[in-house]
Chains A and B, each alone.
Chain A
């Protein structure tokens, strides 16, 4: 089954404790992206990757890191999480060309609470 898998689905942690949210897709998509969703703000892009070893900042990259060492994986790293990073996070992927002309396929989301 074609899917985007995120882990964990839920996480409660404390300020300053490094965490990683994993994202994996089995559709051989070149483009992958991370979003955060906050009430009333829609989805805001954190980082995206056009292909392996190519990553770019989205609209809200501060406090986040990503890597794209393999085509299927695109982890999101919070080196020193803070309470304002409490949010619902989505990973998404799409074929070559990105979302310009291709639909994005989303994971089920990761709800992070930073205390």
Chain B
């Protein structure tokens, strides 16, 4: 079945550094969603990308959907402690969401 590969599994950054997570699929995606899960919490919807080459911004977060609609990325500029958590991508597949394994953002003390 369809799979979505998400890398890296973890990223350790100093506060103020940037963070990026990537999702890749071997098949063309109709759309992709991004969620954030805080430690001990539940996934919370961030954004959905639908169009080829789409770029959306939410304050310090930039989301991109590849031209071929097979990959997507989330970039956070100047991380803050409130950004800590795990970021998931999820791709639509016949009324189901296929989830990436997530990237955990860890702020170094």
Contact = CB atoms under 8 A, between A and B. Distances in A.
Interface residues of A, number: 26
A74 interface: no
Q: How large is the interface on B (under 10, 10 to 19, 20 to 34, 35 or more residues)?
A: 20 to 34
The CB with the most chain B CB atoms within 10 A, among A45, A56, A99, A108, is that of: A99
Contact of A43 (B30, B44, B88, B92): B88
B95 A40 contact: no
Contacts of B9: 40
B82 interface: no
Interface of A: 31, 33, 40-45, 48, 50, 56, 58-59, 90, 92, 98-101, 103-109
Given A48-B95, A59-B1, A42 B88 contact: yes
Contacts of B1: 59
B85 interface: no
A90 B42 contact: yes
